[in-house]
């Protein structure tokens, strides 16, 4: 999602993004960011939330500081069953600033559900044997990540491709 586009107006504030819900942040500066699309020529930031496939985890955080600052957060993730995974995070940050009327409150909730099944191709009952593309018929089947390609094509030579594979 472009955050500095004309439609968004560059109004997204990263300060309110709960760090306890994040797995990884990648910053690509300069022309190598073109793999994220033709509009990412100056740079790109990729933010990934916690992944249930990393195994069951539960994190509890409590912090305190000056000016009655306190932060409480609970985060966790797990695979449930048959390809379903869940990741959740709740956080609360309160602070009374150093001067009157400088109080701050930030409350966040995140819920991500993941499903590792490929649904059947809608309306397809039979496939021509010469058709070499993998089509899922009848019922859903498990999906394991494999190398995939993403092409971002634009006019004027702003083209990029990225091949993504499991770690």
SS3 label, residue 140? coil
pLDDT in tens, 121-136: 888 888 888 888 778 8
What pTM did the predictor assign? 0.59
pLDDT at 166: 63
Taking residues 82-106, report their average pLDDT. 86
Taking residues 78-89, report their average pLDDT. 84
pLDDT at 164: 65
Q: Please report the DSSP string for 62-106 in residue order.
A: EEEETTTEEEEEEEEEEE-STTEEEEEEEEEEEE--SSTT--EEE
Rg of the chain (C-alpha set)? 22
pLDDT at 154: 62
Q: Domain spans of the chain?
A: 14-143
Query: What is the rounded distance in angstroms from the CA atom of residue 75 to the CA atom of residue 108?
Result: 11
pLDDT at 64: 93
């Amino acid at each position: 999602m472009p955050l500095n586009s004309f439609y968004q107006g560059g109004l997204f504030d990263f300060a309110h993004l709960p760090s306890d819900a994040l797995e990884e942040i990648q910053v690509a500066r300069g022309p190598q960011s073109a793999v994220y699309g033709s509009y990412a020529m100056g740079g790109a930031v990729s933010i990934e939330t916690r992944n249930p496939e990393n195994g069951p985890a539960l994190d509890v955080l409590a912090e305190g500081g000056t000016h009655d600052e306190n932060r409480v957060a609970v985060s966790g993730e797990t695979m449930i069953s048959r390809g379903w995974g869940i990741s959740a995070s709740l956080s609360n940050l309160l602070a009374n600033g150093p001067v009157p009327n400088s109080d701050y409150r930030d409350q966040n909730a995140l819920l991500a559900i993941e499903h590792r099944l490929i649904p059947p191709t809608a309306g397809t009952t039979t496939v021509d044997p010469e058709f070499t593309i993998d089509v899922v018929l009848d019922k859903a089947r498990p999906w394991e990540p494999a190398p995939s390609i993403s092409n971002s094509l634009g006019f004027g030579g702003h083209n990029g491709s990225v091949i993504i594979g499991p770690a």
